[in-house]
Amino acid sequence: MTSTDIKNDRLLRVAKGQVEGIEYPPMWVMRQAGRYLPEYNATKGDNDFFAVCRNKELASTITMQPIERYDLIDAAIIFSDILVVPQALGMTVEMIEKRGPSFPQPLRDPKVDLARLSKNVDVVAELGYVFDAIKETKKKLGGKVPLYGFVGAPWTLMSYMIEGGGSKMFTECKKWIFQYPEESKELLQMVTDVCIDFLEQQVVAGADIVQVFDSWAGELAPHDFREFSLPYLRQISAELPKRLAARGLEKVPMTVFAKGAWYALEDLCESGYDVVGLDWTFDPAEAVKIARGRVTLQGNLDPNTLYGGRDAIKKGVERMLKGFAGAKGRHIVNLGHGITPGVNPDDLAYFFEQVEKIGREVYGQ
Ligand code: CP3
């Protein structure tokens, strides 16, 4: 299936900067297939999180749940996790209920621990289940909306692999970049190589657009971001289109979401991505000024607004859409980060309805 076979291709068009005929912004939300949905909790049941990711029937069913519930959603995102890449590199990762991911043996000493990682990872052998889930989901979608593939950014994955899970201080991975910059770059390169192969195969399997999640970009000083994150983000955006061209496949739009990296927006607009995702700490109008039409912007309502009731949601949507009005249609609506487990699914429906309603007013002016 090519992108021309997708019935609702509003999001793909806006990602590519083709805004003609777009009457209100396309929309989706990060973590849209997750614990705030009762149907997700029912399907997941007591299954282990990664076992669900490895089961194409369950993973595709969960991916479809928000698409089936919300008519206004303009894209699906494959149900998986950024931490499947460290698993492919040979690390054990467990998902602990209500606590999040945990690595029983994180990387600590570069002299010893880099050697533990697999060389020449065969992503088809290690991550074939993701491609199977993508193929299954594409069948279920039947071209209704496009499907996002995704990968964690090398810096964010490196942080998890060294910290061993979520972190407040990032002391261990900061020790690496400051004490062992060369070994850190060796690790970042190993991760980058797998990320590129992984995205290539996701597109081969049917992903229509891809997103790179640099969730911990905001932990870096601007010069450290330029040294330890940006070059690897750029390698991904430069290499994927070449790989696809070599296979005779169409280029897919690429999104980078570098959370907290408002300091790097100028660099991100020149990093080879079609779409730049913004968290809620960016002022939309300021971001539009910096972007100067070079990329499509995605975001950025504070996800906690969804706890504020209908008035707060309506006001938040209005402020967001008016803030992005200067982007002249180069805007994909999203939250500034993933939707959280306590949100009432009906309030998310209201959010989408307001995006359509207020979006038509703003775009009609
Ligand atoms: O709907 C979607 O967005 C697609 C699926 C998706 C998941 N994780 C499912 C998931 C995607 C795109 C991700 C990406 C991901 N995973 C990121 C980048 C985005 C971000 O949030 O910054 C990160 C950092 C991870 C790592 C990760 N996975 C964490 C920190 C956690 C625990 C968070 C929590 O909410 O407890 C996970 C688990 C996870 N990934 C869940 C889901 C639906 C919850 C698992 C459960 O059912 O208990």
Pick the CATH number of 3-364 from 3.40.50.10300, 3.90.1150.10, 3.40.50.300, 3.20.20.210: 3.20.20.210
Which amino acid is residue 264, in one-letter code?
Answer: A
Q: Which atom of ligand 1 is nearest to the CA of 34?
A: 43
Residue 336 has pLDDT above 90, yes or no: yes
**Region 159-188: what's the mean pLDDT?**
96
Alpha-carbon torsion (330, 334, 336, 338), positive or negative:
negative
> What is the number of the ligand 1 atom nearest to the C-alpha of 98?
36
CA of 249 to the centre of ligand 1 (A): 29
Q: What is the CB < 6 Å shell around ligand 1?
A: 30-35, 44, 49, 77, 79-83, 95, 100-101, 150, 166, 213, 215, 338
Atom of ligand 1 at shortest distance to CA of 340?
35
Q: How far is CA 326 from CA 279, 286, 330, in A?
A: 18, 10, 9
Rounded to whole angstroms, how far apart are CA atoms 218 and 223?
12
Instruction: Sheet with 76-77: list strands edge to edge.
Output: 76-77, 147-152, 209-214, 254-258, 275-277, 296-301, 331-335
**Is there a contact between 157 and 86 (Cβ–Cβ < 8 Å)?**
yes
Q: Which atom of ligand 1 is nearest to the CA of 40?
A: 47
pLDDT, tens digit (0-9, with 9 covering 90-100), for 219-277: 999 999 999 999 999 999 999 999 999 999 999 999 999 999 999 999 999 999 999 99
Burial class (CB in 10 A: 0-12, 13-18, 19+), 129: middle
Distances (CA, A) of 129 to 56, 84, 132, 201, 242: 7, 10, 5, 11, 24
Distance 59 CA to ligand 1 centre (A): 13
Cα separation, 190 vs 186, whole angstroms = 6
Q: What is the pLDDT of residue 1?
A: 52
Tell which atom from ligand 1 comes closest to the C-alpha of 156: 24
Mean of the pLDDT values across residues 162-168?
Answer: 93
**Given ligand 1 and candidates 52, 81, 337, which is best to mutate, with the most ligand atoms within 8 Å of its CB?**
81
Going from the Cα of 334 to the center of ligand 1, the distance in angstroms, rounded, reads 16
| Residue 3's pLDDT band (cuts 50, 70, 90) | low
Chain centroid, CA 300 distance in Å: 13
Mutate to test the pocket of ligand 1, among 27, 30, 31 (most ligand atoms within 8 A of CB): 31
Give the chain's mean pLDDT. 97
Q: How far is the CA of 111 from the centre of ligand 1 (A)?
A: 31
Least confident of 57-61, 168-172, 191-195: 168-172
Atom from ligand 1 closest to the CA of residue 95: 38
165 token code pair: 């899970």
Percent share of the chain, pLDDT over 90: 97
Distance 81 CA to ligand 1 centre (A): 6
Region 4-20: mean pLDDT is: 95
0.95 exceeded by the pTM?
yes
In this structure, what token pair is assigned to residue 80? 């998986």
How many angstroms is it from 315 CA to the middle of ligand 1?
Answer: 28
**Atom 20 of ligand 1, residue of closest alpha carbon:** 215
The residues that bridge with 332 in the sheet, in sequence order, are 298
Please report, for the chain, the start and end positions of each structural domain, with discontinuous segments joined by +. 3-364
Using CB atoms within 10 A of its CB, is residue 62 exposed (0-12), middle (13-18) or buried (19+)? Answer: buried
Residue 4 banded pLDDT, cuts 50, 70, 90? low
Strands 209-214 and 147-152: parallel
301: which strand partners? Answer: 335
Give the pLDDT mean for 22-50: 98
Which CA distances in Å does 7 have to 20, 70, 74, 272? 16, 16, 10, 27
In the prediction, which pLDDT does 98 show?
A: 86
